Structure 1
Amino acid sequence: MGLGSFISTVPSLLTLPPLPLPTTTSLAVSNYPIHSSRIRCKIEDDNDSEDQVGRRDILKCFGATIGMEIIASSGSFVKEANAADLIQRRQRSEFQSSIKSTLYTAIKANPDLVPSLLTLALNDSMTYDKATKSGGPNGSIRFSSEISRPENKGLSAALNLLEEAKKEIDSYSKGGPVSFADLIQCAAQSALKSSFLAAAIRKCGGNEEKGNLLYTAYGSNGQWGLFDKQFGRSDAQEPDPEGRVPQWEKASVQEMKDKFTAIGFGPRQLAVMSAFLGPDQTATEALLAADPAVAPWVTKYQRSRETVSETDYEVDLITTLTKMSSLGQQINYEAYTYPVQKVDFGKLKL
């Protein structure tokens, strides 16, 4: 008995490579509508053929065809899942845009708080302990017992600004209140952007219009993509342990290096984060420049800030902040999406 023909329903969306065929066997394939569920296998006698086809071969044909039919029939579910995912992405993106707008307005009205906002984000992240996988940018710095620690001296005003911004953000949020963990890191992002924009305006002699055009043309705004995706941090329910964050303005370079090493960073990241290490970036850089391992990076970023684009400095700073702002955090990628309307199956008529 030989294999005369094998006719199956194969969705046109699935492209399969041709099967190698014996020279003594002919294969005919007919195309049926995508939603057809018919499977027909015809066995013809061919006494002259030496190719023997057993029941196992036929079952394999049936199995492969049925499997492809199941995959094809599940396409609608895949499309629905993709559509739902796109809707959630859009909801989160719209919410992020609103948060950035609120923070931009608040920071523009309080430019003197930019250094404090950066240090607030750093200190909230620096509680991360690599050995226990605890701490990190979890918003624990909002607790009075943590914000009042020596290393957080002078940061209360920045936290107060964010608490007021949070009230406004939560009032228009359709997906629940924003976490302090997210808000603190997003504020650091907004503070950095405002700093780069201010630098561009200074380079244009104080002309805001030209400064905006300069930053739009040469700024590294597009490098924030990964940072924006890491949106959905959960707030800690208690303060992080004491002793994990140095007093930056009193710490030695070696103490700074040790802390950065403990979280997986090195001299390069330490140098680029100098603006976060206390209120006086110039003083911090002068201290770091005295260390042979950090000095080359300090010089590199100082020179970069003198250029029109500041590319080296800005890209490395964005990259480091992005990594720092997710230390030890499990990101909920469905956070802030709108509640799904529940269906009462009891009312459905079958």
Structure 2
Amino acid sequence: APLMLRLAWHSAGTYDVCSKTGGPFGTMRFKTEQSHGANNGIDIALRILEPIREQFPILSYADFYQLAGVVAVEVTGGPDVPFHPGREDKPEPPVEGRLPDATKGSDHLRDVFVKQMGLSDQDIVALSGGHTLGRCHKERSGFEGPWTANPLIFDNSYFKELLGGEKEGLLQLPSDKALLSDPAFR
């Protein structure tokens, strides 16, 4: 489930409000987007999903990848997420470098989420809560470990762990710590 949520986010997180490019339009199916540095390991999710997707040719890749994220949240105990089909697959991927860089702080987060995507500080905090699922793998991101004690349950433990300070065995990325250090995020 964590990989599916990551796939859905990495597909959507490339959106640029000014150029109206990027976003959840199925372009992760292209090797060029899979090879973007931030997408290391996404190919695992795609390999798992492809035999399932082939059974439902009526669904676009765009809808299928977002549906995988919706299901990931729901089966791990998260809220019911409304799913609205109808996305069309785009013919080419966005340029590399649109996803947030985990090594950077609040200014960078705002550059990506607010300026690029047209979202708000509140959205940054809410979307960061997705880190309640999954973990980082050193060979993919340079970081190692889960954010929470139970990375297969979607709940608010990411925020509890973040507010509780650093703990042995749990990960806090610089981008996570920015949520604490910048008063506008609190």
Whether TM-score is above 0.5 comes out as yes
Whether 2:186 is the aligned partner of 1:290: answer no
Q: Which runs of 5+ in 1 are unaligned?
A: 1-113, 171-176, 198-219, 297-350
2:87 and 2:5 map into 1 onto residues whose CA distance is 18
Determine if contact 1:139/1:180 at 8 Å carries over to the other structure: yes
**Displacement of 1:274:** 1.4
In the TM superposition, structure 1's runs of 4+ consecutive aligned residues that sit over 6 Å from their partners are none
Query: Which of these residues, 102, 108, 119, is aligned with residue 255 of structure 1?
Result: 108
Q: Output the TM-score relative to the length of structure 1.
A: 0.39
Report the AA paired with residue 188 of structure 1.
G
How far the C-alpha of 1:286 sits from its partner, in A, is 4.2
Match for residue 67 of structure 2 among 186, 190, 193: 186
Gaps of 5+ in 2: 136-145, 148-157, 159-171
Q: Does residue 1:124 correspond to 2:15, yes or no?
A: no
Q: Secondary structure at the match of 2:68?
A: helix
Deviation (angstroms), 1:168: 2.7
**Equivalences for 1:170-249 in 2 at 5 Å?**
170=57, 177-196=58-77, 220-221=79-80, 224=81, 227-228=82-83, 230-247=84-101, 249=102
CA spacing shift, 1:239–1:192, aligned 2, 3 Å = same
Q: Deviations over 1:136-155 (max 9, x none)?
A: 11011111111111111122
Distance 1:141 1:251 in 2: 24
Q: Tell me how many residue pairs correspond in the alignment.
A: 148
Deviation at 1:163, TM superposition (A): 1.2
Identity of aligned residues (%): 31
Could you tell me the TM-score, scaled by structure 2's length?
A: 0.70
Q: For residues 25-64 of structure 1, what are the structure 2 equivalents within 5 Å?
A: none
Matched, 1:268 2:122: yes
In the alignment, the residues of structure 2 paired with residue 240 and residue 269 of structure 1 have an alpha-carbon distance, to the nearest angstrom, of: 22
Q: CA RMSD in A?
A: 2.2
Match of residue 140 from structure 2: none
Partner of residue 79, structure 1: none
Structure 1 SS opposite 2:56: helix
Question: Which residue pairs with 1:162 in the alignment?
Answer: 49
Work out which structure has the larger RCO, using CA pairs closer than 8 Å and 6 or more positions apart in sequence: 2
Q: CA deviation at 1:243?
A: 2.2
* Per-residue CA distance 1:237-256 (angstroms, 9 max, x = gap): 11212222233x32323212
Which residue is equivalent to 2:152?
none
Q: 1:168 to 1:187 in 2, by over 3 A?
A: same
Native 8 Å contact 1:138 1:234 kept in 2:
yes
* CA distance in 2 between partners of 1:271 and 1:192 (Å): 17
Higher helix content, 1 or 2: 1
Aligned residue type for 1:160:
R
Q: C-alpha displacement at 1:187, in angstroms? A: 0.8
Q: Deviations over 1:108-149 (max 9, x none)?
A: xxxxxx222222211211221211212211011111111111
Residues in 2 aligned to 1:158 and 1:287: alpha-carbon distance in whole angstroms: 28
CA–CA separation in structure 1 for the residues paired with 2:128 and 2:67: 19
Tell me if structure 2 keeps the 8 A contact 1:118–1:275.
no
Distance in 2 separating the partners of 1:251 and 1:159:
28
